[in-house]
Amino acid sequence: MSTKKPDVVVTRKLPEAVEVRMMELFRARLNTDDHRFTQAELTEAVESAEVLVPTVTDRVDAAVLAKAGPKLKLIANFGTGINHIDLKAAAERGITVTNTPGVLTDDTADLTMALILATPRRITEGERLLRAGQWTGWGPTFLLGHRITGQRLGIVGMGRIGQAVARRARGFGLSVHYHNRKRVPEATEAELEAAYWEDLDQMLAHMDIISVNCPLTDATRGMLSAARLARLQRHAVIVNTARGEIIDEDALCDLLEKRLIGGAGLDVHQNAPHVNPRLLKLDNVVLTPHLGSATVAGRIAMGEKVIINIKSFVDGNAPPDRVISGVTT
């Protein structure tokens, strides 16, 4: 990449401090009205940019990357999940891809805990009822939920976020269980007092609460299939702050509608921003609009990571958060 300021296309509106810094450091093209890029706009961006800064709302697929101009050398994703980028197509074109891990761990784990609490305790159901003017007063049997303390929490995906959820969960008196592609080191397991289940099917059958915290990959797409979900206990609650596509949403709706599981807390949705209409009709579901990392501090930290990744790449160094390394400058 040349020594002049690189042409950077940013597909969504970022926090002001981040945008200002980007304007200082790069020849940045910002998205001032924050509209979602169409595939045509994305294609146009990769044709001319040296660096693309996409988010989860962009589909940087093989068709888009096939149109990438010779100048495009870096995709510096604003976000940790990179399932919306065709990594194989990027690698084939020698494009480096970076992400923003670490800085959204605590915020996402906090939101996960919020759903773990809100779903069995019927918090949003109660709020809806109150706002609708239907609350007639306290009653001994009114809107009873289920106790959190002493329940078994099964974490699917024990990476940074899964571990941060485990730490919080212990404070709420939950016993922590987990399934992961690879068992975590013994010292981590001991610190988290977490029990490892090699067999996901077996873990699902014994948990009171399930939290999905793994990335969306070819291996995890549809991992919580109809057959697997059917293993959940009748009172079990499932929480997802990872990606909607990891759970078979229709199968989940079947179980929720038939009251074959206790409830669900979903921050992510299979066809986001379209929310499954079957979910919208259910009262045993807490729905949030992908708020996992939505804090001011978190979004600024993500932006700073993007800037560091671009800057180090432009300066000829290896960016710290490489997902794949393309041709160096």
Q: Which stretch binds ligand 8YV (CB under 6 A): 40-48, 79-87, 150-158, 182-190?
A: 79-87
Q: Binding ligand 8YV by CB under 6 A: which of 22, 46, 56, 214?
A: 56
Examine residue 81 and tell whether it contacts ligand 8YV (CB under 6 A). yes
Packed helices 296-314 and 16-25: angle between N→C axes, nearest 10 degrees: 10
Q: Using an 8 Å Cβ cutoff, are 146 and 204 in contact? A: no
Tell me if 321 sits within 8 A of 160, measured CB to CB: no
Distances (CA, A) of 310 to 25, 58, 96, 302, 303: 10, 19, 10, 13, 11
What residue spans of the chain are helical by DSSP H?
16-25, 39-48, 62-66, 87-92, 105-118, 123-131, 160-171, 186-192, 200-206, 226-229, 249-257, 277-280, 296-314
* Binding piece for ligand 8YV, criterion CB under 6 A, among 73-81, 134-142, 163-171, 303-311: 73-81
> By C-beta, is 31 or 293 nearer to ligand 8YV?
293
Q: Are 257 and 282 in contact (CB under 8 A)?
A: yes
211 binds ligand 8YV (CB under 6 A): no
Structure tokens at 208: 């009171």
Candidates 18-26, 78-86, 146-154, 226-234 — which segment interacts with ligand 8YV by CB under 6 A? 78-86
Selected range binding ligand 8YV among 77-85, 186-194, 206-214, 278-286, rule: CB under 6 A: 77-85
3-state helix, strand, coil in the chain (%, to 5): 35, 15, 50
Nearest distance from C-beta of residue 240 to ligand 8YV, angstroms = 11
| Among 80, 105, 180, 276, contact with ligand 8YV (rule: CB under 6 A) | 80
- Count of residues in contact with ligand 8YV, rule CB under 6 A: 9
Closest CA to 171 of 204, 203, 145, 193: 193
Q: Binding to ligand 8YV (CB under 6 A): which residues in 180-199? A: none
Which residues, 36 to 55, sit near ligand 8YV by CB under 6 A?
55
11 forms part of the interface with ligand 8YV (CB under 6 A)? no
User: How many residues appear in the chain?
Assistant: 329
Q: Give yes or no for residue 263 binding ligand 8YV (CB under 6 A).
A: no
Indicate the helix (H) or strand (E) that contains 10. Answer: strand 7-10
> Measured from the CB atom, is 248 or 321 closer to ligand 8YV?
321
Q: What is the contact surface with ligand 8YV in residues (CB under 6 A)?
A: 55-56, 78-81, 104, 292-293
